[in-house]
């Protein structure tokens, strides 16, 4: 165990001894915010692992399965397409009168004639038997491993005290070695879905909020080949 991980384990042991702690924020993000505050991590939008630049932290409520975004990554478009022609060809008119594209895609399952196809080194977007866009293995794995390759899952029991959520952080598991095969298997089981979130502005430019790869939070550890109980 390296010194960065050892220092994290020691802090988590101190937090475990505190017992139930009142949430520092209401809502789904309360558990992560509470753990970060207890660890002395300052909230920011900087990309990269949370703990000393090496270990990502994922606080998990026991028994919950809300979806989280693994990462956002726009696909590569086939030759001849731009994002403007893409959204104009495949989009729809939303309630605000804009051309929009907000769609959830599953593996080999048609949703509005959209689905995901997989090869050994590529993820394809399939629309009405056409493949207008795709993601390549190297780019996807770079996104996954740059932030999540060493992830510490911190599990907490929860209870409400006078309607306020409280957490007892009691177990930590280190996940290492993200597996491309595991990632594809989760897509094939529709445990990972892909969501487009974009619309066209009045100027004609496309506003892309990020194409999200989404997974249920309680399945995130299935991405990893190795799991180590840190025995906090």
- Reported for 113-119, long-range contacts at CB under 8 A and 24+ positions apart, including other chains, are 116/187, 116/194, 118/184, 118/187, 118/188
CB 6 within 8 A of CB 52: no
Please state the φ and ψ torsions of residue 84, each to the nearest 5 degrees. -70, -45
Q: Distance (Å, rounded) from C-alpha 32 to C-alpha 59? A: 5
- Identify the pLDDT of residue 108: 81
Q: What is the DSSP letter of 166?
A: E
- Tell me the pLDDT tens digit for each residue of 124-175: 999 988 999 999 999 999 999 887 889 999 999 999 999 999 999 999 999 9
Distance of CA 147 to the CA centre of its chain: 10
Q: Full-prediction pTM beyond 0.85? A: no
In whole angstroms, what is the distance from residue 183 CA to residue 144 CA?
A: 10
- Over residues 58-71, the mean pLDDT reads 85
State the Cα angle at 6 between 4 and 9, rounded to 5°. 115
Domains delineated in the chain: 3-229 (3.30.70.3570)
pLDDT over threshold 90, residue 207: no
**Is 46 a residue whose pLDDT tops 80?**
no
Rg of the chain, C-alpha, whole Å:
20
- pLDDT, tens digit (0-9, with 9 covering 90-100), for 89-106: 988 888 988 999 888 999
């Amino acid at each position: 165990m390296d010194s960065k991980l050892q220092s994290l384990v020691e802090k988590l042991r101190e937090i475990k001894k505190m017992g139930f702690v009142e949430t520092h924020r209401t809502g789904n993000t309360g558990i992560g915010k509470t753990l970060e505050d207890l660890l002395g991590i300052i909230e920011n939008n900087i990309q990269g692992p949370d703990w000393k630049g090496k270990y990502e932290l994922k606080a998990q409520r026991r028994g919950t399965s809300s979806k989280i975004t693994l990462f956002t990554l726009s696909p590569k478009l086939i030759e001849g397409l731009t994002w403007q022609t893409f959204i104009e060809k495949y989009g729809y008119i939303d309630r605000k009168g804009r051309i929009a594209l907000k769609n959830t895609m599953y593996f080999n399952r048609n949703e509005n004639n959209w689905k995901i196809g997989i090869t050994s080194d590529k993820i394809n977007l399939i629309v009405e038997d056409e493949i207008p866009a795709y993601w390549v293995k190297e780019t996807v794995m770079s996104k996954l491993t740059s932030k999540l390759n060493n992830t510490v899952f911190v599990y907490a029991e929860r209870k409400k005290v006078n309607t306020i959520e409280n957490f007892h952080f009691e177990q930590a598991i280190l996940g290492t070695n993200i597996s491309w095969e595991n990632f594809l298997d989760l897509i094939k089981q529709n445990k990972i879905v892909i969501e487009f979130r974009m619309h066209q502005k009045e100027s004609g430019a496309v506003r892309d909020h990020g194409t999200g790869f989404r997974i249920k939070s309680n399945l995130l550890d299935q991405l990893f080949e190795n799991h180590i109980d840190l025995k906090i």
